[in-house]
Structure 1
Amino acid sequence: MHIAQKLIKSVIEGFCNFWVTIVLLIAYGSACGVATFVENDYGTPSAKALVYSTQWFDLLHLLLVLNLIGVLFFSRALQRKKYASFLFHFSLVVIFIGAAITRYYGFEGVMHIREGEQSNTIESQDEFITILAKVDEKLYRAFFPTTITPLVQKRFQQNLPFEDGNLEVQYVDFIPAKDKIDADRLKVKVSFKGESKELEIVKNAGLEKVMPFMLGGKKFALEWGSRTIVLPFSIALKDFQLERYAGSMSPSSYASEVAIMDPLNDEEKPYRIYMNNVLDYGGYRFFQSSYDMDEQGTILSVNRDLGKIPTYIGYAMLTFGLLWAMFAKNGRFYRLGQYLKTQNLILAFAFCFGILNTIPLQATPQMINQQTQENQQVKKEAEIDKTEQVKKSHSTQNPHNNEMFEIPPITTESILDLIKNLKEKSDAHTQKFGRLIVQDFGGRMKPLDTLAMEYVHKMTKKDGFLGLNNMELFVGMMVYPNEFKKVKMLALSTPKLKEIIGVNKSEKYVAFEDLFANNTYKLTNFLEEANRKKPAMRDKFDKDVISLDERVNAAYLVYTAQNLKILPDFSKESDKWFTPSEAIASFDKENAEQLQKLFSAYFNSFHFGLVENNWENADLVVEALNGIQNKFGSDLIPPKLQIDLEIFLNHYNLFENLMPLYICFGILLFTIVLVQIFRHKSVDILPSRIVHWIIALLVLTHTIALGLRWYVGGHAPWSNAYESMIYIAWAAGISGVVFFKKSYLAQSMASFLAGISLFVAHLGFMDPQIGNLVPVLKSYWLNIHVSIITASYGFLGLCFMLGALTLVLFIFRSPKYPELDRTILTLHTINEMAMILGLAMLTVGNFLGGVWANESWGRYWGWDPKETWALISIVVYAIVLHIRFIPKGNNPYVFATLSVVAFYSILMTYFGVNFYLSGLHSYAAGDPLPIPVFLYYFVAITILLIVLAARKGDLPAPKLP
């Protein structure tokens, strides 16, 4: 008995150690990562069948929790009075309990109701085979769950007792759908009382399409798909309401006015369900999910979750425990700070609590990319009518100018004089014209100056083309389309495409008229071929064809003024604004004639202004248009200050201009510090302090610019990919200036990272336009959730930079430079502190995103690739922070190496999921883009750095007080 007890104790002690923890975490992260790729290629049901819903994955969760409990017990955290550490670690156990309850006892489904009707049935999310039997005009049902996907087919053989015999249903074969129109089919063998039949069942065919059959003298039918669940009460849809952004098809919000019809209560209970406002009744939660295309019906997500309360308690314990751990005197973070004090590097601990409040509790990467994806989709849908006109013109004739207006004649030979006059004479007038308000295709009201900037950037990929500002070029194209379509202003780069068009290979731009020959669009065949390919299969030529076609469409809209929606509805019956041609075609005859005269007068007066430098008449037309806007559309016009600030942001490009300053001063500070270290001198010299204050000034400017964009856009500036990158850059800058202001090396890395983040933000695949929010993001959770997770990327990015710098210093370790060891230990300490902050924010933000999701559509975790990779990143950084408990793991070289490697999980979370995996938060929809070539060099340099630093990586970790 004594031997058995010792054996059991040995097994328990062997299981409850950090080696097992690391192995389990690696296995868990790997399983989650593989599942995301399975989901992308084979669908969510396959990922659930192979990983998420399997017993082995549940067992892995259980082993992690048991190991955590054991490690907490053997570490004697309570005996050492490390209450904060115990609290946030034990919170994971509570979260697991809540998740387990949800996993086994929770329910998710969908309820569909048409306006004026009521429903008491829910369609389950899980799949079942349902057996229907009719006896004496009564319908009997029985069902059992199935797991049938294109990748996984779990065979089944079910015996169901029925009257005086058993009905047997046996799996035979699975026939996957051939295309999106087709449906999956399942072959089964049904036996009853000695008779058998093979049947083919169509997935989710519906009760009305089920074919009954006779077997053993009884009438049966089979269904495969969602199971219908009958509620003890009904919900009646009184009215479905859909609000759109002014003058567009973009939804602003949607809501369902419903009434609860409960037999136990004769009284009807009215309720309004809309995004982020749910209905709780009878133990079920109803969420506004979607709606019918005819806007006469609503689709509600339905949830019944007994695990919600323990899960939320766990989230609260986790958040409080992590915040407490930042200030606990026996905690790791505090002791690291004390060590830095001994190195004469006083950290700004007083800012910790404040920064966590000013950085709106950053959150899970859950909805930020969905916003960009949906905005892009809305924009495409809204512009389809316009682009279709362009497509038609491609195959028929060369688009030309607005024939309804009298445009002054001008000879082609004078185009250079025209451009010269535009440069010298039109600036003051076009500035006034640029202050007019225009309604874009997404319904956003903005100054015409912004629209001009967006279109000119699209066509020329630069500011100041031909020496003209954006408004001068925009108005010039609109007034003189026949002249400007001869100007080479549409950017392209592929030599093959230049050869096809017939321009010199040294040209960087092509003219609009170069793309047409004999009234035929030269790109038609190549464009169709490129669009047939998946994005991953498109080469440089294909992508350039598509990009050039988009620039042609943009130019066409400018030439024909079909993007100039500057005229409000004179009848005030709608919020839609009209282009000049739309208004003349739609308004009554008298107003249409007046408008035609007004715009003809403008075209002539603009030409007169260029020739005589007299802009009085042109200015009067602009004033008349301004008066029309204020008289008929004043409710939609933004405040004057907002217009002024948006034009200010357009002209000064604060974020783009900050990019080289961040990088240059970061490199300068790094160079100064490095030189002083190798000269064995103090780094706290006047040049270092001056650069420090310059970088602080850059961060202050960055903060003001974010505030201006917030005010102009009307929402927090982290709602799409571009905004999240400029916010990450800000978080990186703040981390250096506030948290590590006495470590010039850390600050130089933070400044450099901020500049690189802004550089990425201004690459071609990022859209800097300010857009309207989709309904799900119109919530206070946007500020709480998204800001925390995005800021965590800034801190973890700083860890990457500090880790890389530490490896470089390891390479140069030598007895000649004794200060290097002290610098490495200091950087190691700062790196660990930054990682603790970053991981805490990432963890809290991820779980707060779960709360947002649960309050928005009824589930706080759905294994979406974005949230799953955020979880994987948490696991990766948890391994890095706990590696010190492993023998030989408490080493600055090991920590620096892992902090560099771990950042690849963040890159995958932020970029990889967005462009290579499909999900709620991705742009790629499952069609991956080619992997950038520079990434291979990036990985190669990382490996080389790690290998070279390993030779001198024997420096022990600092001893903390």
Structure 2
Amino acid sequence: MGKTNLKRLISSSTTTIVLLLVYGTGLAAATFIEKYQGSEVARSMVYCSPLFFLLQFLLVLNWLAVAIRQHSLKMRKWGMLVTHGAFIIILLGALVSHLYGEEGILHLREGETSNRFAVRHADGVTYHTLPFSIELMNFTLTRYPGSSSPSAYESELLVHMGEEVISERVYMNNVLDVKGYRFFQASYDQDEQGTVLSVNRDVAGRTITYTGYAVLLLGLVLCFVDKRSRFMQLGRRLKELRCSVLLILSVLSSLSVYANNTSTQATEVVLKNVINAGHAACFGALPLQSGRGRVLPVNTFSSEVLRKLHKSDTFGSLNSDQFLISVLVMPELWAQVPFIAVPGKELSDFYHLPSGQCAYMDVFDADGNYKLQEKLEEAYGRMSAARTRFDKELIKFDEQINIFHQLLDWQLLNLFPKEDDPQHTWYAPGDDLSAFSGKDSMFVSRILTWYVEEVQTSFQSGDWTKPDEIVGMISTYQQAKNKIEGVTPEKMEAEIKYNRLDIFSQCKKGYLIFGGLLLVSAFASLFKRVRWIRLSGWVLCVAILAVFFFHMYGMGMRWYIAGYAPWSNSYETMVYVSWATVFAGLLFARRSLLTFALATLFGGTILFVSGLNWMDPQINPLVPVLKSPWLMFHVAVIVGAYGFFGISCLLGLVNLVMMSLKKSVLIQRIKELSIINEISLLIGLALMTIGTFLGAIWANESWGRYWGWDPKETWALITMVAYAIVTHLHLMPFRNKLWLFNLSSVIAFYSVLMTFFGVNYFLSGMHSYGQNDHVGGIFIYLLASVFLVVLLGILSFMGKQKQNN
């Protein structure tokens, strides 16, 4: 009897859910242990502990037992069998890597030869011997033009294998393979005379793991094409139900922009003397080198500066290019204009500054002393984690003041390339120009002074011919002296057009307006099925589709301008998530207009968040490790999954609201939307799984290990586990499975938010960016949402009970 009970327990689907819950909870706990106790403690307590290995063994045993009990082989459930078998292969590969793999560091100075590399363990460092020797001939660090940011670094090596000597190069994403050992460019010495190579030997483990990845891909494909799969069953059930939609209470908040029009004399003067718009556009088209080395139009630079200083793309009637030229021409007046946004009221009160915005002169006392200096030194003297909100706002405000100070001194405007500079540095008129000689020296030191004089004359005459000519001279000089590839008038024009169109802001409005109207139309069709309502719904769908393609056009433009896929930072990723969410909704448009409307509204909301002040929309050069095609595929797929998870979360909320209404007539509609919810979850889980393991391949090809338990990796795995639990809930013998499934689809989305936001700002690791006050504020709203979801869960459970009765 006991043996039978044990067999049932092992082969139970409930056991699967429990094991996955324990597994996911353990992983989550480990990320916080790592934050407070360090990575070695997290590894010993969780990742490499005997209990963790036992838990994974029990999962494998459970999967096999369930497959045998359900006669999966006999029933030819190939998708399920191959997918779960792939995970067993992947776990086997991880075990082989853990037991037999070697991973360490080889540090070499130029001219040094070594055959020993360091391997770190929990109890210290040991040295392993290579069957050959490596000699570093030369290390080269390449920086972005005119910047200190690394663009690439590489090591020129000689591999000594007995009498045979092989010359090789190792750089980021270019691996050296020798006799089963792989060498990766990990880091370098600060004096740029030495290299740090990551060494990895794991032929068997890597082969098994990669085989598992290939089998997993095959299994996921079978899950979507096999007639016996859960996905195909859901599709057939959906066709059997009558397509209908329901209104969900949607509250849209609109923001009004408050313009603080000042009446000071200085403001009146600068707003009265407006630079000709055509000339400003001509000046804005000039190339300029940013502090990070990227060459961009002056228009992009002026927009970024005005947003940082004023939190807007315009000041009064002046656009950003007109503002920049005006500052160059009338610096004394602009120093008195109250347009610099003060980060917080506490700062304004402490320094007796005007509330909201202040002038540059307001931060200096009557003796010309910088008011912020004393407290600023105290703030910088504290560790980053110990700084108060006042300290952070003060540092941010000081950065704004310094940017404007440099503009007044004609700095930052790096317009003049130096022809023979090995770093391809461009100089600003206010820089030390002694590096130039001859005619070049005369040109760069005098041209802007001449330009300012002519602009002042043009204010009186209204003739802007001369300033246009001088801008043309600067452009001619740039074209003659620039040696950076890819700086073309076409690319500059494209970026100016991108700035002018403000694509993602326009898409935000389109999604929110058309998505809201589509929701109303879908609701109206429930009560009255008339032709004009149905037609209006499809007209709105076409309008949303037009916005969707405009959104895609904007991402394409950004890709062309930056030279890499536009999902490398938080801002770009959110823009892409918005696109993926609407795309996911588009796939369900024919089956459920409600789903499409919700996806569109969610896409617009994401774009709204991406446009907030704490998001950085700047296009920046990539760090070396991100210059990999694997990154592009990894992020594109995994972020695409977020769109489907977002739709599932919204559909889950809709169903919980309908359950709360205690109307039995809504049961059919709840079932229909639940099917769409599960289909969306299955697609999202497949994409999340593929994307996570694409990331593992990227990691292995970039720095020699496909899984290192970095918090970002771990939370991606937790998200997979969370949604695996949700998609397996239908197997549980639970009376209110529909309620539990929809509630779980909402709760699981918090793992996505933790992966996307929480890891970046609240945990340690390679993907962490540090605490951000604005993101902390968002987490307050997230906590409030948890309370509301719990409340809705209780109300919907009570309503579902009544519906069942």
TM-score (normalised: structure 1):
0.78
**CA gap 1:596/1:928 in 2 versus in 1, 3 angstroms:** closer
Q: Does 1:276 pair with 2:126?
A: no
**Paired position in structure 1 for 2:477:** 628
Q: In 1, Cα distance between the equivalents of 2:194 and 2:363?
A: 46
Amino acid at match of 2:285: R
Cα deviations by residue, 1:132-163 (Å, 9 ceiling, x for unpaired): xxxxxxxxxxxxxx3xxxxxxxxxxxxxxxxx
Amino acid at match of 1:555: F
Equivalent residues of 1:536, 1:928 under 8 A apart: no
**Secondary structure of 2:567's match?**
coil
Q: In 2, Cα distance between the equivalents of 1:593 and 1:639?
A: 26
**Paired position in structure 2 for 1:143:** none
**Paired position in structure 2 for 1:496:** 346
**CA gap 1:610/1:835 in 2 versus in 1, 3 angstroms:** same
Equivalent residues, number: 782
**Paired position in structure 1 for 2:518:** 669
**Paired position in structure 1 for 2:727:** 881
Q: In 2, Cα distance between the equivalents of 1:845 and 1:280?
A: 26
- Displacement of 1:316 after TM fit? 0.7
- Displacement of 1:677 after TM fit? 2.3
Cα deviations by residue, 1:270-323 (Å, 9 ceiling, x for unpaired): 112121221121221111111111111111101111311111111111111101
Q: Does 1:478 pair with 2:328?
A: yes
Equivalent residues of 1:287, 1:302 under 8 A apart: yes
**CA gap 1:591/1:821 in 2 versus in 1, 3 angstroms:** same
Amino acid at match of 1:661: G
Q: In 2, Cα distance between the equivalents of 1:251 and 1:955?
A: 64
**Secondary structure of 1:564's match?**
coil
Cα deviations by residue, 1:578-618 (Å, 9 ceiling, x for unpaired): 11233633212553234333221111001111222121221
Amino acid at match of 2:143: R
Q: In 1, Cα distance between the equivalents of 2:369 and 2:532?
A: 67
Q: Does 1:102 pair with 2:97?
A: yes
**CA gap 1:823/1:955 in 2 versus in 1, 3 angstroms:** farther
**CA gap 1:116/1:683 in 2 versus in 1, 3 angstroms:** farther
**Secondary structure of 2:186's match?**
strand
Deviates more, 1:532-541 or 1:712-721: 532-541
2:271 corresponds to which of 413, 419, 428: 419
- Displacement of 1:873 after TM fit? 0.7
**CA gap 1:571/1:543 in 2 versus in 1, 3 angstroms:** closer
Q: In 1, Cα distance between the equivalents of 2:384 and 2:194?
A: 35
Q: Does 1:512 pair with 2:360?
A: yes
Q: In 2, Cα distance between the equivalents of 1:99 and 1:834?
A: 30
Equivalent residues of 2:34, 2:41 under 8 A apart: yes
Equivalent residues of 1:535, 1:929 under 8 A apart: no
| More helix, by proportion | 2
Cα deviations by residue, 1:446-474 (Å, 9 ceiling, x for unpaired): 11111101110000011221221001111
Amino acid at match of 2:42: A
**Paired position in structure 2 for 1:247:** 146
**Secondary structure of 1:677's match?**
helix
**Paired position in structure 1 for 2:190:** 293
Cα deviations by residue, 1:717-747 (Å, 9 ceiling, x for unpaired): 1111111100000000101123434311000
Equivalent residues of 1:113, 1:297 under 8 A apart: yes
Equivalent residues of 1:572, 1:632 under 8 A apart: no
Amino acid at match of 1:336: L
Amino acid at match of 2:770: A
**Secondary structure of 1:784's match?**
helix
Q: In 2, Cα distance between the equivalents of 1:757 and 1:482?
A: 41
Amino acid at match of 1:445: V
- 1:382-397 equivalence runs, <5 A: none
Cα deviations by residue, 1:768-796 (Å, 9 ceiling, x for unpaired): 01111111111111221111001111110
Equivalent residues of 1:677, 1:683 under 8 A apart: no
Identity percentage of aligned residues: 37
Q: In 1, Cα distance between the equivalents of 2:774 and 2:269?
A: 47
**Secondary structure of 1:952's match?**
helix
Q: Does 1:113 pair with 2:108?
A: yes
- Displacement of 1:925 after TM fit? 7.6
- Displacement of 1:555 after TM fit? 1.1
- 1:676-695 equivalence runs, <5 A: 676-678=525-527, 685-695=534-544
**Paired position in structure 1 for 2:490:** 641
Q: In 2, Cα distance between the equivalents of 1:571 and 1:862?
A: 44
Equivalent residues of 1:803, 1:896 under 8 A apart: yes
- Displacement of 1:238 after TM fit? 1.7
2:49 corresponds to which of 46, 54, 60: 54
Equivalent residues of 2:289, 2:296 under 8 A apart: yes
Equivalent residues of 1:494, 1:540 under 8 A apart: no
1:19 corresponds to which of 8, 14, 29: 14
**Paired position in structure 2 for 1:852:** 698
Q: Does 1:314 pair with 2:212?
A: yes
Q: In 1, Cα distance between the equivalents of 2:528 and 2:385?
A: 51
1:29 corresponds to which of 20, 24, 48: 24
**Paired position in structure 2 for 1:227:** 126
Equivalent residues of 1:535, 1:928 under 8 A apart: no
Amino acid at match of 2:604: G
- 1:332-411 equivalence runs, <5 A: 332-343=230-241
Cα deviations by residue, 1:207-229 (Å, 9 ceiling, x for unpaired): xxxxxxxxxxxxxxxxxx31122
- 1:148-159 equivalence runs, <5 A: none
**Paired position in structure 2 for 1:89:** 84
Amino acid at match of 1:313: T
Amino acid at match of 2:767: H
Equivalent residues of 2:662, 2:802 under 8 A apart: no
**CA gap 1:528/1:72 in 2 versus in 1, 3 angstroms:** farther
Cα deviations by residue, 1:397-416 (Å, 9 ceiling, x for unpaired): xxxxxxxxxxxxxxx95652
Equivalent residues of 2:270, 2:333 under 8 A apart: no
1:952 corresponds to which of 793, 799, 805: 799
- Displacement of 1:19 after TM fit? 1.5
- 1:585-734 equivalence runs, <5 A: 585-588=434-437, 590-633=439-482, 635-636=484-485, 638-678=487-527, 685-734=534-583
- Displacement of 1:636 after TM fit? 3.8
Kindly report the root-mean-square deviation, in angstroms, between the aligned alpha carbons of the 2 structures: 2.2
- Displacement of 1:833 after TM fit? 0.4
- Displacement of 1:658 after TM fit? 1.3
**Paired position in structure 2 for 1:210:** none
Q: In 2, Cα distance between the equivalents of 1:927 and 1:480?
A: 36
Equivalent residues of 2:342, 2:358 under 8 A apart: yes
**Paired position in structure 2 for 1:839:** 685
2:746 corresponds to which of 886, 895, 900: 900
Q: In 2, Cα distance between the equivalents of 1:516 and 1:20?
A: 69
Cα deviations by residue, 1:491-513 (Å, 9 ceiling, x for unpaired): 12533322233234xx3211010
**Paired position in structure 1 for 2:135:** 236
Amino acid at match of 2:321: M
Cα deviations by residue, 1:157-209 (Å, 9 ceiling, x for unpaired): xxxxxxxxxxxxxxxxxxxxxxxxxxxxxxxxxxxxxxxxxxxxxxxxxxxxx
**CA gap 1:19/1:344 in 2 versus in 1, 3 angstroms:** closer
Equivalent residues of 1:792, 1:838 under 8 A apart: yes
| More strand, by proportion | 1
**Paired position in structure 1 for 2:674:** 828
For structure 1, the 5+ residue unaligned runs are: 1-5, 128-145, 147-224, 347-411
- Displacement of 1:828 after TM fit? 0.6
**CA gap 1:503/1:942 in 2 versus in 1, 3 angstroms:** same
